[in-house]
Structure 1
C-alpha cells in the first residue's frame, strides 16, 4: 500500500515526518523549501555509493510561526531509511538550518540560481517541476494514493460514466497509475524518491547529454578494439627475419598505447554512469550499480528517458480539475482530445486486422501468441478539420495498395502518444541505439511491434497501432486504429 502523500500548494509533506496532516511545506514566491539530493559512484568500494538525502521545511498549520525541518537519508531503495525531525524553530532558524545543510551537501547556494552546478564527491539536486499543479488538481501520486486507500474517497459519490464499456476499459488501461508505476519500477527507477511526472524537462535533457557522451565513448572503444584486431592480423603476415625485432617493439608500443586509451575510456564510462544514476535515481538495492558499457544498456536508458517524458505528459493530462459531476474516466477521455469508437467484431476491418496479426507473426517469435481483444478507431480532433473529412474507411478504401505497418510501445507511453503523437528523439539524445537513426519506427510484422510493448507474465495487455500505407511509401494517415490485445506467454 502506498503511503499517504498530502499536498498543499506545490510541495508534498513527507509522510514519515508525522506532520502530513498538520503541516505545509514552506513556499515563498517560486521557492519551494523541499529538496531531493542524490549521489552515485559506481567505483566506490564493493557495492558503490548509491544514496539520497532529502529534507524540507514544514510549517505548522495551526501556528504559522512554528517550523520544523525534516531530514531523510540512506541508500536508494532502502525500506527503512534514516530520518530525523528537528524543531520546532522559528521560520528564520529553520531556513538557516536548511541553507547550511544544502550548502554542505552540494557546495551550491540556496535558493538555487539555475543552472545547478554538480560538484564531484557531493550530492546533486534532483530538479522537480513545480510549475504545474495547484490545490484543486489531482496528481498521479494522489490518484495512486486514492486507489490504494479507498476509504479516503468513500464519502464521494462518483457519477456513472457516459462512455461505452469498451471505451472505459481502454481509457482505464492507458491511465492506470499502478501499471505505469510498475513498468517504470521494472526499469529500476526509484519511485519513492522521484515522483512520477515531476522531473523537469531540463533535468531529463541533462540525462540525454550524459547518454550522448556514453554513446561517443562506446564508439571510441569499438574503434580501438577494431584497430587493435587489424594490427594483430597484419602482424601475423610474413616478415623478413631482420625486421622482426623492430616490428615487435613497434607492436608492443602500439599495444600499450591502445590499452591505455581503452582504460581511459572505461574509466570515463564509470564516471558518466555515476553521473546518470545520480541525475536519474535508480534502485539497485544493495547491489553495485551496473556500468552502462554496451549499446543494449544504452538503449534501455534511452527508453527510460522516453518513458519519463511520456509519463510527464500523461501526468499533466491526469492533473485535471476535480469535478464531482464528471466521472474521472470521462474526464481523462476528454483530456485525450479525440473520439474513440470500438470497431465491430463482425466488420471487414476487424477481420482484416485479425488476419494481419495471424499472417505477420514471425516464426522466430514463438514464445507467445497474440489475441485480439478489441479494435478501436481513433479520430484526433483538430479545430481546422471535421471528423467526416478524415473518415478512416474512406481513406483506407482510396488506397490502391493496402499495407498495414505496426507500432508497439509500452502502456506508459500510450496516453502521451495519443495526445502529442509519435515523437522523434530530441537533438541532445545520441543516435546510437537506434537501428536506422532517430525517427518514427514502424514494421510490417505485428509480432515485431508487439515485442516493443514489453509484455510479461505480470502484464499481458498490449496496444498495437496499425497504419495504412499507400504504395509502400511510409507516409502515415492521421487517423489511427488502436488494437487492444493480450499475449499468451508459452
Structure 2
C-alpha cells in the first residue's frame, strides 16, 4: 500500500503530490507507513519490531511528485538510524501537506489549499476510496463490497461523483460566494480530471450558470446517458449498496472488455488510427473499454448500421456508437479513413480500421468527415473507452 497526498482544489490529472514511503536501505524493501501503523490486534511494539532491519541498516523516506505530461521528480530523505525516526519524518510531511495527522487519517478532512489523501491499493481487488467533504451523501457510505464488477463500479463512481459536486455548485452559484465556488470547483476538478498545464485553478472557477451548464454537459458526455434527477436522490434503496442502485437507475448495461482479446485490439486500432495528425500535442493510452447496451436501443436497431463512429470525446472518455444514417447529414472533410481496410463483424457492423488518407476530388470545408444526427434515437451506444491523455511539454 503506497500513500499519496493530492492537492485539493487542483485537477486530479494535474498534480499528484506526494508519494511517501519508508524504505529499508539494506533490504530495499518498501515498508509503507500504512503497514507499520495499520489497525492490528498486535501491539505497536510488535509491529514496529517487525520493520527493523536484520543487520542494523538505515531507513530512508522516499518522496515523488509529478504533473501530467511532465517527468516526475523525487527526493530521498535520510538515512535514519531507526524506523521510528523515518516514520516521524513521513508523518511530518503528511501533516504539512494535508493539515491532517496520520494517526487521524480514518477521519480525514479536506482543507482549502491543502492536499487530499488517496489510498492506493495495488492488490488484485479494487476498492473505491473517495475523499469528500460531503460525508452524508450516499456515495460516501459505499460499502467495501459492491455487487458491481470492480471496473464498472469505478466508472459509475466517477460519473456520479461528478454530478454530485455540480449539484452542490448549482445550489450556491447564485449567492456569488467566491470562496465557496472556488472550493467546490476544486472538488469537481479532483473528481473529474482536467489538464490545466501549470495554470492556477482560480482561472477555472465555475462561477456562472453558463460555466456550470458546460460542465454538466461534459459530465453527461462521459457516458452519453440520460440521468434522471432522481439519480442522486438519497432514499432507502441507497443504504445497502448505493453505487449499485445508481447503476440500476442508469438503465445502461456496462461490461468490461478484457485486455488483449480480438474485440479490444480492434477498438485499440480504431482509436489509434482516428487520432488526428492535427492533435499532435498529446497521445492517448486506453485504461479500460466497456461494452454498453442502453435500454430500448437494441429494439430500434433491428438492422445493422453502416457506421462505427466516435460521437463524443470528453474528459478522457470516448463513446463509440452505431448511427442510423437514414436522416442525417454528412460533412465532407479533406481527410477520411481508408475504406479498403474496413472490417465487417458478425452482426454486419462495418468498422473502418484504415488509416486516414487525403480525399481525392472535391474537398469539403471540414478537416475530417463528420455525421450530423438530428435525433438521438438514431444513435445506439456500443462502447465506452476510458483514456489517459499524455500531453507533451514544450521545451
Q: Same fold (TM over 0.5)?
A: no
* Greater gyration radius: 1
Bigger helix fraction: 1
What TM-score, normalized to structure 2?
0.42
Bigger strand fraction: 2
